Amino acid sequence: MTRRVAVTGIGVVAPGGTGATAFWDLLSNGRTATRGITLFDPAGLRSRIAAECDFDPLAHGLDPELRDHADRYIQFAVVAAGEAVRDSGLDSGREDPWRVAVSLGSAVGGTTRLEHDYVQVSEHGRRWDVDHRAADPKLHLAFAPSTLASVVAEQFGAQGPVQTVSTGCTSGLDAVGYAFQTIEEGRADVCIAGASDSPISPITMACFDAIKATSPNNDDPEHASRPFDANRNGFVMGEGAAVLVLEEYEHARARGAEIYCEISGYATYGNAYHMTGLTSEGLEMARAIDTTLDQARLDPTLIDYVNAHGSGTRQNDRHETAAVKRSLGDHAYETPMSSIKSMVGHSLGAIGAIEVVACVLALQHQVVPPTANYETPDPECDLDYVPRTARPRKLRNVLSVGSGFGGFQSAVLLTGPDGRTR
């Protein structure tokens, strides 16, 4: 018999507020958390705006080692995981630790810390033969991407399969997807799953400047992220983390856990086209959607909401619109599809997990979060993008899709308590 996968806990650190309550408050009110960059001096950059987290590590009870030494993205993840585990009511003392897994995603990992120390050891980019004596002795923790899953596993006593997933901007979706597969296939009963990134740094901003992928709307940061709008001109960088406790369905029921919803499908494909470019047809993303629907044996007409990748680049939003139309057919025109990146920016690998949590909350509240800043329709993007205002709606099956550098195209399907599945 197939093992079903329940969501029993959620936690989030996002721009505009820490915790699921603050996060949903922002989304359901259509507020934006994008602003001029304060984390460093962005003078000279083309895009000088971002969605930053007002995150105070002191306020979250992190142990002193983590508070003083861990990278910002690790701190985000530990705080989000703490919220998710508390929310799930899981008592780690009662779990078999070998049956508890961790699957966390990050696109750029410790690069913010790596850059910070690089500046010291290279004397501001003057030396190729960098001076090791100026480096932090714990720099290896920023160098090793697996630090993310390792620290979280250690914090929560997980001894099962522990993985860091790094598939660029689909890392968050894929980390949730791998976790789903881990439980479905019986390799664990519980999985702490999600993603974290803190990419608001000179090198990451500069590398997206170089390809003009980020928005130069520096004069109006609050309205800079404009997914699906005819006047969109790139994404706005974000940061944050989201973590879910995924659990084998019967395991959750047996301990009397409250179940938010189920993860009922996951698929990913490569577009084998271009590292950054997307076709206008969206064939591979459509295939990812089709595969998740097949797994759940769900008719496309039963999709009630699509949480879009909706980065706000010209090509992405067109690509994604085409993909959803290809998979859902005429039903696409009746299905609300929104992008929360309009409010919380694009936190690279983290955003996929943040968006899955947004879907969990949408199912819980039976409300579709809006696409903020959407004003001017684009003839190439002709679906219902839920402009500016959240919308109550009967939600049973919700799809979250993502697309990332490297050609990754992923989809996660969530099914509410009264959704039709299997």
Partner 1 sequence: MIIEVTVDELAKLMKKAAGVSVDPTDLAHSSDSPFGTLGLDSLGLLGIVGELENRYSKPLPPDAERCKTPREFLDLVNTTLKAGA
Partner 2 sequence: MSTQRPRRAAITGIGVIAPNGLRADAYWKSVKEGLGVLDRITREGCDHLPLRVAGEVRAFDAADLIEERFLVQTDRFSHFAMAATVLALDDAGLGSGDPAEPYDIGVVTAAGSGGGEFGQRELQKLWGQGSRFVGPYQSIAWFYAASTGQISIRGGFKGPCGVVASDEAGGLDAIAHAARGVRRGTGALLVGAAEAPLAPYSMVCQLGYPELSTVEEPDRAYRPFTAGACGFVPAEGGAMLVVEDENRARDRGAAVRAMVAGHSATFTGASRWERSREGLAHAIRGALDEAGCAPEEIDVVFADALGVPEADRAEALAIADALGAHGTRVPVTAPKTGMGRAYCGAPVLDTAAAVLAMEHGQVPPTPNVFDICHDLDLVMSRARPAELHTALVLSRGLMGSNAALVVRRGGDSAR
Enumerate the active-site residues: 169, 309, 346
Token pair belonging to 111:
């690069």
Number of residues in contact with partner 1 under rule CB under 8 A: 7
Q: CB of 211: closest distance to partner 1 in angstroms? A: 6
Q: What are phi and psi of 22, to 5 degrees?
A: -65, -40
Is there a contact between 390 and 29 (Cβ–Cβ < 8 Å)?
Answer: yes
Is there a contact between 370 and 387 (Cβ–Cβ < 8 Å)?
Answer: yes
Nearest to 104 by CA among 147, 56, 44, 165: 165
Q: Count CA atoms within 13 Å of residue 103 on its CB side.
A: 28
Applying the rule CB under 8 A, the residues between 270 and 289 that interact with partner 1 are 274-277
Q: Which is nearer to partner 2, 132 or 394 (CB)?
A: 132
Place of tokens 């479905």: 184
DSSP, collapsed to helix, strand or coil, labels residue 194 as strand
Q: CB of 163: closest distance to partner 2 in angstroms? A: 5
Which of partner 2, partner 1, none binds 174 (CB below 5-8 Å, type-dependent)?
partner 2
Q: Please, which residues have CB within 8 angstroms of residue 112's CB and are 6 or more apart in sequence?
A: 71, 72, 73, 198, 199, 200, 201, 204
CA distance to 3, 27, 255, per residue, from 94 (Å): 21, 35, 10
Determine if 64 is a binding residue for partner 2 (CB under 8 A): no
Q: Which is nearer to partner 2, 216 or 406 (CB)?
A: 406
Q: Please, which residues have CB within 8 angstroms of residue 379's CB and are 6 or more apart in sequence?
A: 230
Number of residues in contact with partner 2 under rule CB under 8 A: 82
Q: CB of 148: closest distance to partner 2 in angstroms? A: 8
Applying the rule CB under 8 A, the residues between 131 and 150 that interact with partner 2 are 132, 135-147, 149-150
Residues 360-399: x where in contact with partner 2 by CB under 8 A, - otherwise, as a string: ----------------------------------------
- Rounded Cα distance, 112 and 270, in Å: 28
Q: Which of 407, 413, 415, 416 binds partner 2 (CB under 8 A)?
A: 407
Q: Please, which residues have CB within 8 angstroms of residue 121's CB and are 6 or more apart in sequence?
A: 127, 130, 131, 132, 134, 135
Applying the rule CB under 8 A, the residues between 228 and 287 that interact with partner 2 are 267-276, 284, 287
Q: Count CA atoms within 13 Å of residue 196 on its CB side.
A: 34
Q: CB of 12: closest distance to partner 2 in angstroms? A: 22
Per-residue HEC secondary structure of 223-282 comes to HCCCCCCCCCCCECEECEEEEEEEEEHHHHHHCCCCCCEEEEEEEEEECCCCCCCCCCCC
Q: Which of 68, 93, 210, 418 binds partner 2 (CB under 8 A)?
A: 210
Q: Which is nearer to partner 2, 108 or 176 (CB)?
A: 108
Q: Which stretch binds partner 1 (CB under 8 A): 90-98, 221-229, 269-277, 328-336?
A: 269-277
Q: CB of 325: closest distance to partner 1 in angstroms? A: 25
Q: CB of 94: closest distance to partner 2 in angstroms? A: 19
Applying the rule CB under 8 A, the residues between 185 and 214 that interact with partner 1 are 210-212
Residues 97-116: x where in contact with partner 2 by CB under 8 A, - otherwise, as a string: -x---x---xxxx-x--xx-
Q: Which of 20, 173, 408, 412 binds partner 2 (CB under 8 A)?
A: 408
Binding site for partner 1 (CB under 8 A): 210-212, 274-277
